[in-house]
Amino acid sequence: MWEHVGDPVSVPNVVGMPFHLADALAASRGVTLANPDPDGPPIGAIAWRRAAYITSQQPAAGGIVSRHSSVTVEIVDHGGADDMAVQGQPDAPPADAAHVHLERAKLIQLSPEGQRT
């Protein structure tokens, strides 16, 4: 059985970053960016000399992996992402979400002169 023997490191959040900056950040944290297709070319060869941005990653940011592990990323050319694409949402609501109380909007009718009625 094969085991990871490197020190544990935290996976950085690279989603939304330009590839060259994400690659540098990943390297500084002890992980390597990789193509999700194991039979495909290295992700660096795909992104080389392109304005590529990271659209997703696995494992997710904050996960603990062994040093030198791969983080698979999907990339898209600059301007090629869906305009409605959103970055992943956190699994848990913010700690202060319990204090939010929604109120129904109050409508104010104005007379033609701008006075309240």
The structure's pTM equals 0.63
Q: pLDDT by residue (tens digit) across 26-63? A: 999 999 999 999 999 998 888 877 788 999 999 999 99
Domain ranges of the chain: 8-80
Q: Looking at residues 57-78, what average pLDDT do you find?
A: 93
Long-range contacts of 73-81 (CB under 8 A, 24+ apart): 73/14, 73/22, 73/33, 73/34, 73/36, 73/43, 74/36, 75/19, 75/43, 75/46, 75/47, 76/52, 77/50, 77/51, 77/52, 77/53, 78/18, 78/50, 78/51, 78/52, 78/53, 81/53, 81/55
Residue 94: is its pLDDT beyond 90? no
* Per-residue pLDDT at 1 exceeds 60: no
Taking residues 94-115, report their average pLDDT: 57
Q: What is the mean pLDDT of residues 96-117?
A: 57
CATH 3.20.20.410 applies to domain 8-80:
no
